[in-house]
A and B are shown apart, each in its own frame.
Chain A
């Protein structure tokens, strides 16, 4: 019995999590850490124990870490935590009213509370032949791609966002000839601002990657047809970059599509929950349509906010919020969003949000390779981005979360210690 009662009703006897990624594991950990002693079941369609995804495009793809190293928890942990883990079993359907979950292998379970943590799947190119492009979402995807990356292999990557750019960087380390194609002349500018985006994007050409501003028109065996506005050659020390206008074909060995994910919301849709670019939830991750069903991680969209978040930190935070709600504990204050990317040996972090109308206050020289830009509105930090200076982001997170008024002159002064910035001055 887990008979602890609370404002929002008794703590459930059985919580079942559909999905087995970071959000699912974080939820289980938070429930147990919060004193939950009831039944806990986790159902995942992949055959392996949950693993960490960020390394899939970085250390794991580079061959520097193995499956055991990216495992989120050792197998014994699930046993010790009393979690009934069902792996390699897709969920066929669930009924929100009864809490009954039908598994694809014909078995079923019934829980008082269901938590949907089904994540997303890689988006596919819709151009002719687009289905043939490799994607990178699962550990199996990463293993298959890693086996194809070797010196001299010609790799074309569609999409220069987080995954595409990281795969490009890792592929160069394998000695591949890399072409990176994106319709945006400055990928990620909308998310991290122009200074950091320029610094990051310039790294590709500097590392020998052919950067093409354009799109993929069609994929044939060994060949990709591009529609290009202009392309920048891989020459690192030239100001006479080859610019090619119009369409052209590129001979390739491997095509990778890194164009985002599609949230796995079909189960929720089939169950009749409110779905609109994600499963709609309240601020505690409870679905707006069924009080005993929660949604966390990539699939959840908080009602009234415009976007889902697909970041690692969001998976953890939403899991912790749901766990608190399930345990009847009051919500914790929201924290600034946070993500990072690693490429070519540099580490970028972003906290809060890029606001093009905010004042951009520089600390260090981000375009020179190490520094930060803080975005400040009405003396409050709303976001910050940093290249190779993660402590600046540790400070920014606290500035944002605690709404500490800033003196922008002190913020820009490297002589002022970051910790001192957290002490508000009138």
Chain B
């Protein structure tokens, strides 16, 4: 398996502040689709499917460093994937995402390196 291989997913400037782009599971080489979010100048990547029920976090509401599920308003920290508001009880899986030379590189399955 090549789970730890970085994947070049798109140009960094394709994503405006507060936008999200979902990479299909096949393209990401991962068990779930992965959504890359941009919040300010930071990029984050989470499993797209809400751990609560089948809903796409990529279609959620991004605000204050959190993504809110479009269906039942569970909220997750973009940085850690931790649930910050019920009804979800399981955290969202996070992935490493880096911007190199204007391209967004996603490493499915690898936890993000905390730059802070």
| A interface residue numbers (CB < 8 A to B) | 26, 29, 73, 77, 316, 338, 340, 347, 390-391, 394-395, 419
Quick one: given A29-B86, A394-B61, are A419 and B18 in contact (CB under 8 Å)? yes
The 6 A-B pairs of least Cβ separation, nearest first, read A394-B61, A390-B70, A419-B18, A391-B61, A394-B68, A391-B70
- CB neighbours (8 Å) of A347 from chain B are 71
Are B87 and A316 in contact, with the CB atoms below 8 A?
yes
Tell me, in angstroms, the Cα distance from A316 to B61 when the chains sit together.
20
How many residues does chain B have at the interface if contact means C-beta atoms less than 8 Å apart? Answer: 12
With A391-B61, A394-B61, A419-B18 in contact, is A73–B89 under 8 Å at CB? Answer: yes
Q: Is B59 an interface residue (CB 8 A)?
A: yes
Q: Are B86 and A390 in contact (CB under 8 A)?
A: no
Give the complex CA separation of A307 and B63 in angstroms. 33
Rounded to whole angstroms, the CA-CA distance of A29 and B89 in the bound complex is 10
Task: Tell me, in angstroms, the Cα distance from A26 to B73 when the chains sit together.
Answer: 15
**Which of B59, B60, B86 is most buried by chain A, counting CB atoms within 10 A of its CB?**
B86
A-B pairs under 8 A by CB, number: 24
Tell me the residues in window 74-112 of chain B with beta carbons closer than 8 Å to chain A beta carbons. Answer: 86-87, 89
Other-chain residue from B71, B86, B89 in contact with A316 (beta carbon distance below 8 A): B86
Inter-chain CA distance A316–B73, complex, in Å, is 12
* Chain A residue, CB-CB nearest to B55: A390
Task: Name B's A-contacting residues (CB within 8 A).
Answer: 18, 59-61, 63, 68, 70-71, 73, 86-87, 89
The answer to whether B70 and A394 touch across the interface, beta carbons within 8 angstroms, is yes
Q: Who on chain B is nearest to A320 by CB? A: B86
**Given A391-B70, A394-B70: A26 touches B86 (CB 8 Å cut-off):** yes
Once the chains are docked, how many angstroms separate the CA of A26 from the CA of B60?
Answer: 23
Please measure, in the bound complex, the distance between the C-alpha atom of A340 and the C-alpha atom of B87, giving whole angstroms. 15
Residues of A contacting B60 with CB < 8 Å?
391, 394
A-B contact pairs, 18 of them (CB 8 A): A26-B86, A29-B86, A77-B89, A316-B86, A316-B87, A338-B73, A340-B71, A347-B71, A390-B59, A390-B70, A390-B71, A391-B59, A391-B60, A391-B61, A394-B68, A395-B61, A419-B18, A419-B63
Given contacts A391-B59, A394-B68, A419-B18, 13 further A-B contacts (CB under 8 A): A29-B86, A77-B89, A316-B87, A338-B73, A347-B71, A390-B70, A390-B71, A391-B61, A391-B70, A394-B60, A394-B61, A394-B70, A394-B73
Q: Please give, as numbers and ranges, the residues of chain B lying within 8 Å of A316 by CB-CB distance.
A: 86-87
Task: For B89, list chain A residues within 8 Å (CB).
Answer: 73, 77
**A340-B89 Cα distance, complex, nearest whole Å:** 21
Shortest A319–chain B CB gap in Å is 10
- Please, how many angstroms separate the alpha-carbon atoms of A395 and B63 in the complex? 11
Query: A149 CA to B111 CA in the complex, in Å?
Result: 46
Task: Give complex CA distance A394, B71 in Å.
Answer: 10
The chain A residue with its CB closest to the CB of B68 is: A394
Q: How far is the CB of A262 from chain B (nearest CB, A)?
A: 26
Separation of A6 and B28 alpha carbons in the complex (Å)? 51
- The smallest C-beta distance from B15 to any residue of chain A, in angstroms, reads 14
Q: Which residues on B sit within 8 Å (CB–CB) of A29?
A: 86
Q: Which residue of A lies closest to B70 (CB)?
A: A390
**Closest Cβ–Cβ distance, residue A372 to chain B (whole Å):** 14
